[in-house]
A and B are shown apart, each in its own frame.
Chain A
């Protein structure tokens, strides 16, 4: 059972499935909940249409026919790509949007729910899928205003940054439009805007029910993201794969960490650091120290390491 399904859904809360995960919003004014849901669903729909890798009619997919020529993109896609490039720069390339072809090559070329249903999934461990090679590299993607140039043959995957950007923008949208405090969670990528409840937004951080956990208070207007090597997994016949690729090899990052959670002023920043930490493996610890952010890292063994003022754990042993 997904962790979020263990929580009650009160009059101030709504949740629904989206992008192979769960969207959950919590508002400070229950009367405004229906309007908040409408706003968030419309915004998520627009983002999906702009940058989904899985629908042929998305603006991102249509870019592939440009074959290296500059293209004027919509303001929304420009913002999403700008966010992805910012994440790449901040992470020194650990979060790289040019891994789209590699993900497709590994079999993650459709919604995960469809992969799980498809028993005749064609990947069977052929050697072609095990080639270790670096991603084309985010520095080859040029964005000047709304003019985007992607090298021919390069497929973009905005998955690492788009969900976090969506959480940030949806929280901001609800607050600005309705004047209320709101928490928006997209599969554990959490953004908040406006005034929060007394003591902050309460977030349960835990890998799975029954495992070590802590409930943290998230200050109003701040964010939290968790990246995981345990979610969004699939099997290619010989290997279990997960969706966080090391751009240097275009293979799933070594699962030194089961999950990494990071608190930051925005969800994009938090997600960039949590994803990069997974890619960096052991080197994530000194890197996160230098970022001076609160972070919780769960080893493959289940042991928990906390950094930067993250509160101590409560709950059963790892």
Chain B
């Protein structure tokens, strides 16, 4: 009898653990999916999209770190012509 109860308890523990793991997995997938959706969203109606994967999914920032927005007259150009 005691052995049967121990067995049932073990099954309950394993089943509960699986349920917790399943919920955690679902949350992780939902988080990743949210990050991907955010990253593919267009930021304006001008045909420009901004990919923010590096800052939303892994928390790291660019190692380039060299470019930021500015205003005023340009001193040089870099482009396709």
Contacts and interface: CB of A to CB of B under 8 A. Distances in A.
Q: Do A and B come from one complex?
A: yes
Given A203-B77, A309-B54, A312-B50, A223 B72 contact: no
A141 interface: no
A147 B1 CA distance: 83
Contacts of A224: 66-67, 78
Interface string A22-43: 0010100000000000000000
Contact of B64 (A1, A306, A308, A315): A308
B69 interface: yes
Given A7-B76, A188-B78, A318-B46, A199 B54 contact: no
Given A202-B75, A214-B69, A231-B81, A303 B47 contact: yes
Query: Would you call the interface of chain A mostly helix, strand, loop, or mixed?
Result: mixed
A303 B51 CA distance: 13
- Size bin of chain B's contact surface: 20 to 34
A292 B46 contact: no
Given A7-B75, A24-B76, A292-B61, A217 B68 contact: yes
A309 B46 contact: no
Contact of B46 (A215, A262, A313): A313
A226 B68 CA distance: 16
Contacts of B80: 207-208, 226, 228-231, 258-259, 298
B72 A202 contact: yes
B37 interface: no
A316 B68 CA distance: 20
Given A13-B75, A216-B67, A216-B70, A292 B62 contact: yes
B31 interface: no
Nearest to B40: A305
A292 B54 contact: yes
A234 interface: no
Interface string B43-69: 111111111011100001111111111
Interface residues of A, number: 74
Residue from the set B46, B54, B79 with the largest chain A CB neighbour count within 10 Å: B79
A293 B64 CA distance: 5
Interface in B18-48: 43-48
Contact of A201 (B44, B71, B76): B76
Nearest to A221: B66
A262 B64 contact: yes
Contact of A307 (B43, B51, B74, B79): B51
A310 B67 contact: yes
A303 B74 CA distance: 22
Contact of B77 (A188, A294, A316): A188
Contacts of A1: 81
20 contacts: A3-B79, A185-B76, A185-B78, A202-B72, A204-B74, A207-B80, A212-B48, A230-B81, A289-B54, A292-B61, A293-B64, A294-B65, A302-B47, A303-B48, A304-B47, A305-B48, A308-B54, A313-B46, A313-B48, A317-B46
Given A292-B54, A304-B49, A312-B69, 11 more contacts: A13-B75, A205-B77, A205-B78, A216-B70, A226-B80, A289-B54, A292-B62, A294-B64, A305-B48, A309-B55, A312-B43
Interface of A: 1-4, 6-8, 13, 24, 26, 183, 185, 188-190, 197, 199-209, 212, 214-219, 222-226, 228-231, 258-259, 261-265, 285, 289, 291-294, 298, 301-313, 315-318
